[in-house]
Amino acid sequence: MDNTAIRQVYKKLNKQGYDHQFIKSYVLPSWWDEEIATTKAGFAEFISYISKNLGIQYESLKNLEQGIQYLNNNSFQYKKTTAHSEDELEIAKHLAIQVAKTADKTLSTLYSGIPTSASELRQILLSRSIEFIDFKCLIDYAWEVGIPVIHLNKFPKKSKKMDAVAIYSKNRPAIVLSNNRNHPSWHLFNLAHEIGHIALGHLNKNEIIFDPKINRNSKDSLEIEANQFAVELLTGNSKTRFYSKQFLKGENLAMEASKYAVNEKIDPGFIVLNYAYHIKNYGIGNNALHFISSPRSAQEIVKAKLRSELKNENVNEEEWDYFLRLTGLED
């Protein structure tokens, strides 16, 4: 068997949006040698790995005359909250589903539910003798109630990414983040927003809410409710808006935010970014964050929790290896 069939599969995947390097680096096993696929049995194995890891129907991948069909198309109801077309988001959606399903299978903690009131949840968290609700606090709480939070950072070159996704697979909801900004405060609102979707019952079993870009001015009713939940959870008031009579930037903005944070029990990074959002200048917010220290990046916080909570159980070695590579845990 020559390489023609292999090249045709890669061509078909590339047309769908999966570049050759992504397939070789992340989808096929780390030990894979392309020579294996030159035999009939090896070619079947080649198709099988791609099919399982990308959630693509085996026959639709093997049959080069047939269009690609996803296994999850009928099993997950899709709730999209922006104007992006579903085709644009297809790859990111299916990668998020795959990592969420693996996390679901390997996590032993049962999902215990979340209070539907943002105020109630805020009081529960602040009763733990913390200064304010920050990114790590929310990460810890999500895992405590059985909601894995995953950072997905490996995508094909041309695929659209997302700020966040909330998915309810077989046994539990999961949250998948993919924004690569380092400071945890950039991710705090997004995480609180997804927790809001779950708490407010926006997500049923076998559903996915896809937020390519979380928009605080969205007219979508689910987004409005999740935004309000997030702001109330983080500040105590769903209408909180930070402003100043004087124009603040850089170190002065960070200093004022840090002072206010102590008294009001609000993450100073959230204050900075909320202020920046309302003056329509995120550059100022990003500058100010340089003066608000964080011992670890958002990605490091998520990865540390993943390592401590998930074990290689109930999944085979190849599925676990794929999960590690997509989430950056292998790095």
CA distances for 318 relative to 30, 50, 201, angstroms:
9, 11, 34
pLDDT confidence bin for 84, thresholds 50/70/90: low
Q: Looking at residues 304-326, what average pLDDT do you find? A: 91
Residue type (1 letter), 156: P
Tally Cβ neighbours within 10 Å of residue 283: 9
The whole-number pLDDT of residue 204 equals 86
Please tell me whether residue 34 adopts helix, strand or coil conformation: helix
Q: What is the pLDDT of residues 262-314, one digit of tens each?
A: 899 999 999 999 999 999 999 999 999 999 988 899 999 999 999 999 988 88
For residue 249, give the 3-state DSSP assignment: coil
Within 10 Å of residue 227's Cβ, how many Cβ atoms?
21
Buried b (16+ CB within 10 A) or exposed e, 22-39: bbeebbbeeebeeeebee
- pLDDT tens digits along 275-289: 999 999 999 999 999
Give the Cα separation of 199 and 121 in Å (integer). 10
* Strands ordered across the beta sheet of 77-80: 77-80, 207-211, 164-168, 173-177, 149-151
β-bridge partners, 77: 207
DSSP per-residue letters across 145-166: TT--EEE-----TT----SEEE
CB 66 within 8 A of CB 287: no
Per the CB < 8 A criterion, the answer to whether 34 and 23 are in contact is no
Arithmetic mean of pLDDT, 80-107: 79
Pairing of strands 149-151, 173-177: parallel
| pLDDT (average), residues 11-25 | 93
Alpha-carbon span 30 to 25, nearest angstrom: 7
d(CA 318, CA 52): 10
Q: What is the pLDDT of residues 26-72, one digit of tens each?
A: 999 988 998 999 999 999 999 999 999 998 999 999 887 888 888 76
The pLDDT > 70 percentage for the chain reads 94
Helix (H, G, I), strand (E, B) or coil at 9: helix
pLDDT confidence of residue 227: 94
Whether the Cβ atoms of residue 298 and residue 184 lie closer than 8 Å to each other: yes
